[in-house]
Amino acid sequence: MKTLATPLDGLLILEPTIFGDERGFFFESFNEVTFKAATSLSSITFVQDNHSKSSKGVLRGLHYQTAPHAQGKLIRVVKGEIWDVAVDIRDGSPTRGQWFGVLLSSENKKQVWLPPGFAHGFVTLSDSAEVLYKATNFYNPDHERCFAWNDPTLAIDWQLFRLREVLPQLSAKDKLGATFK
């Protein structure tokens, strides 16, 4: 596995080693020993796996959970293509309020590791996309929060030009996202 650092401390892009031939491909999507070595984490426990399917133009996020229910997430795409975004919301972090985006797809097989303390969202760029993610803490609706996708302080480039649409499709809950400030 190849590990790529991002400008946000702790946020990593993981590129698995792919074994392929005319029959198809194989790769380990998760191996605890390899993951710990790649991330320099001595202990990590994933307690929940999630699977979402979204149509083109659907934007999910920016979601996070507050302590003590904050979640780390290992994210990958098994069908289609998304623009995946993470925002550092850690108190005291020198990159607090900064975001990073990366194209994740079933073709490139990249994964993103978001440690606890990051808000997460994505927009579906292909006709549909299926996203899998492992979480280090259980979903807790009492601690769930959401920032507005179009918050002017964050000024995220959602790559909407790829959609040829002006506004993404949002859930009722995501339409009520708070401002970052």
Active centre residues (catalytic): 63, 133
SS (HEC) of the chain:
CEEEECCCCCCEEEECCCEEECCEEECCCCCHHHHHHHHCCCCCCCCEEEEEEEECCEEEEEEEECCCCCCCEEEEEEECEEEEEEEECCCCCCCCCCEEEEEEECCCCCEEEECCCEEEEEEECCCEEEEEEEECCCCCCCCEEEECCCCCCCCCCCCHHHCCCCCCECCCCHHHCECCC
Q: Which of 153, 113, 103 is nearest to 135 (CA)?
A: 113
